[in-house]
């Protein structure tokens, strides 16, 4: 059923805005009038998701972005209302009334309408598969089947908030090194392009041979001044070409293989994949999703196609009767501790609990490794910047010293 945004006048003559679902604009007007309001404008809306974040998808809607934390917030609010005994459709209606973003209110209105028509909540969510991840939809489906939807929604909110908090800490740790790199490149480009030519102009036209460092620096300065626009376009073209190639199947495989091979990066990538695998699988199993189906879902969440293939192979081996730990034992991308905890969990019947503990451990270890890496990056960048500035100073001073020697 279509959803309409409207502006109307209430009984006090004030302009109000809202969302209503109806079969046609005429039915929408009738619905608004039945609420005691006079419709002024009515416009049909449509939600379009265009951007995805790990765990959840974030849509762009008429220039308004539904943030990741908005999804977590409505999930927690919905869990609270369901645990208080409020039926699902009225709970969604309450979220619509208290919501501020039109994009989110439109999606909630469509979900409420589907529920009112008799569809399962998970089925309604699947109509917005680009907004709600397979993990989200399948956990809700399991919660509906077991009658614990409010518990599952609370678990989803905790899962999403935990992932978001981890990502925020990682971004905060990387912000300063990235800022230093950008500022350093801009400062060096400014020195070489604008400041250096005015200094080295005194050397032009002299018969004496200039030192190699000075010649190289003057050549680089001339190149940047004369061809800065083509060089800038070339850089952007290379970046765009690499981004396009990385999103192809072959490019994605090559990029993910490179990530697992680089000395300083591979450890972080494997720890991150292990944490995502353990956390997602623990959440699905705790919600009642069968292990075979859970592995199929988790394979799309680990963030690396080579690790995902290993998870998909585990699903096939599990159908043949092999244990989960036996399949992952000896696999290069899965730490031995994780495999051991899988084995203990399978033997004790608490696989979800053991995976959750492993996820906690790997998330803490991942954060500490990132902090240690950023603490190493900062002095390295200072050294690189110092070396670049030192090279410029030496290249400028060498011919000056030579000129002084000739004068003497």
Q: What pLDDT band is residue 53 in, cutting at 50, 70 and 90?
A: very low
CATH code of the domain containing 115: 1.20.81.30
Dihedral sign computed on CA atoms, order 19, 24, 28, 29: positive
Please indicate, yes or no, if residue 141 is contained in any of the structural domains.
no
**What pLDDT is attached to residue 24?**
75
Return the higher-pLDDT residue of 156 and 378.
156
Return the higher-pLDDT residue of 214 and 19.
214
> What is the mean predicted confidence (pLDDT) over 256-281?
86
Do 251 and 218 share a structural domain?
Answer: yes
Q: Which of 12, 29, 45 is the last residue of a domain?
A: 45
Q: Residue 277: exposed, middle, or buried by beta-carbon count in 10 A (0-12, 13-18, 19+)?
A: buried
**What pLDDT is attached to residue 45?**
65
Do 251 and 399 share a structural domain?
Answer: yes
Return the higher-pLDDT residue of 88 and 212.
88
Please indicate, yes or no, if residue 360 is contained in any of the structural domains.
yes
pLDDT surpassing 70 at residue 117: yes
Please indicate, yes or no, if residue 342 is contained in any of the structural domains.
yes
Q: What pLDDT band is residue 2 in, cutting at 50, 70 and 90?
A: low
**What pLDDT is attached to residue 47?**
41
Which tokens is 227 given? Answer: 């061809």
Do 98 and 66 share a structural domain?
Answer: yes
**What pLDDT is attached to residue 404?**
65
Do 59 and 40 share a structural domain?
Answer: no
Specify the range with the lowest mean pLDDT, choosing from 188-202, 228-242, 262-276, 360-374. Answer: 188-202
Do 404 and 293 share a structural domain?
Answer: yes
Helices 266-286 and 134-146 meet at what angle, rounded to 10?
A: 20
Do 76 and 189 share a structural domain?
Answer: no
pLDDT surpassing 60 at residue 56: no
pLDDT surpassing 50 at residue 28: yes
Please indicate, yes or no, if residue 22 is contained in any of the structural domains.
yes
Q: Which of 54-58, 118-122, 176-180, 286-290 has the highest mean pLDDT?
A: 118-122
> What is the mean predicted confidence (pLDDT) over 41-58?
49
Q: Residue 356: exposed, middle, or buried by beta-carbon count in 10 A (0-12, 13-18, 19+)?
A: buried
**What pLDDT is attached to residue 343?**
92
Domain coverage including residue 38: 3-45
User: How high is the mean pLDDT of the chain?
Assistant: 81
Please write the tens of the pLDDT for every residue from 300-351. 778 888 998 999 898 888 888 888 898 898 888 888 999 999 999 999 989 9
Q: Do 181 and 374 meet the contact criterion of CB atoms below 8 Å apart? A: no
pTM of the complete model: 0.67
> What is the mean predicted confidence (pLDDT) over 264-275?
85
Do 18 and 68 share a structural domain?
Answer: no
Q: What pLDDT band is residue 406 in, cutting at 50, 70 and 90?
A: low
Do 85 and 31 share a structural domain?
Answer: no
Please indicate, yes or no, if residue 55 is contained in any of the structural domains.
yes
**What pLDDT is attached to residue 50?**
38
Which residue, among 169, 94, 135, has the nearest Cα to 303 in the 3D structure? 135
Q: Which of 102, 132, 162 is the last residue of a domain?
A: 132
Please indicate, yes or no, if residue 400 is contained in any of the structural domains.
yes
Residue 215's Cβ-side half-sphere holds a number of Cα atoms within 13 Å equal to 6
Do 28 and 59 share a structural domain?
Answer: no
How many distinct structural domains can be found in the chain?
Answer: 3
Please write the tens of the pLDDT for every residue from 220-254. 888 888 888 898 899 999 999 999 998 898 998 99
Do 209 and 235 share a structural domain?
Answer: yes
pLDDT surpassing 60 at residue 114: yes
Collapse the DSSP code of 132 into the 3-class scheme (helix H, G, I; strand E, B; otherwise coil) and give the result.
Answer: coil
Do 252 and 365 share a structural domain?
Answer: yes
pLDDT surpassing 50 at residue 369: yes
Please indicate, yes or no, if residue 140 is contained in any of the structural domains.
no
Between CA 46 and CA 4 the distance in angstroms is 9
Do 296 and 226 share a structural domain?
Answer: yes
**What pLDDT is attached to residue 345?**
92
Between CA 339 and CA 328 the distance in angstroms is 6
**What pLDDT is attached to residue 342?**
92
**What pLDDT is attached to residue 58?**
38
Between CA 187 and CA 385 the distance in angstroms is 10
**What pLDDT is attached to residue 216?**
85
Q: Residue 79: exposed, middle, or buried by beta-carbon count in 10 A (0-12, 13-18, 19+)?
A: buried
């Amino acid at each position: 059923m279509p959803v309409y945004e409207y502006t109307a006048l209430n009984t006090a003559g004030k302009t109000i805005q809202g969302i209503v679902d109806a079969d046609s604009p005429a039915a929408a007007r009738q619905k608004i009038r039945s609420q005691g309001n006079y419709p002024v404008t009515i416009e049909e809306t449509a939600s379009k998701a265009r951007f995805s974040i790990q765990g959840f998808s974030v849509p762009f809607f008429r220039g308004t972005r539904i943030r990741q934390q908005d999804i977590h917030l409505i999930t927690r609010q919905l869990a609270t209302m369901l645990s208080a005994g409020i039926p699902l459709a009225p709970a969604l209606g309450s979220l619509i009334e208290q919501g501020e973003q039109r994009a989110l209110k439109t999606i909630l209105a469509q979900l409420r309408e589907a529920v009112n028509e008799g569809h399962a909540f998970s089925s309604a969510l699947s109509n917005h598969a680009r907004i709600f991840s397979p993990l989200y939809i399948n956990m809700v489906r399991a919660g509906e089947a077991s009658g614990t939807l409010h518990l599952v929604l609370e678990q989803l909110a905790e899962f999403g908030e935990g992932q978001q908090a981890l990502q925020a800490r990682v971004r905060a740790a990387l912000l300063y090194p990235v800022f230093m790199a950008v500022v350093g490149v801009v400062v060096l480009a400014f020195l070489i392009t604008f400041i250096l030519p005015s200094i080295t102009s005194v050397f032009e036209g002299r018969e004496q041979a200039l030192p190699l460092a000075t010649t190289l620096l003057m050549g680089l300065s001339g190149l940047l001044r004369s061809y800065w626009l083509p060089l800038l376009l070339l850089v952007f073209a290379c970046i765009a070409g690499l981004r396009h190639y990385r999103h192809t199947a072959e490019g994605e495989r090559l990029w993910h293989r490179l990530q697992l091979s680089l000395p300083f990066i591979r450890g972080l990538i494997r720890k991150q994949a292990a944490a995502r695998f353990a956390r997602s699988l623990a959440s699905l199993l705790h919600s009642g999703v069968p292990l075979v189906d859970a592995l199929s879902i988790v394979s799309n969440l680990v963030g690396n196609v080579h690790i995902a293939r290993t998870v998909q192979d585990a699903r096939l081996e599990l159908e043949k009767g092999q244990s989960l730990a036996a399949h992952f034992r000896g696999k290069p991308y899965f730490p031995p501790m994780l495999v051991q905890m899988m084995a203990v969990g399978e033997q004790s019947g608490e696989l979800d609990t053991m995976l959750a503990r492993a996820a906690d451990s790997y998330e803490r270890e991942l954060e500490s490794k990132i902090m240690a890496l950023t603490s190493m990056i900062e002095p390295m960048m200072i050294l690189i910047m110092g070396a670049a500035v030192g090279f410029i100073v030496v290249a400028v001073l060498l011919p000056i010293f030579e000129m002084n020697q000739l004068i003497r």
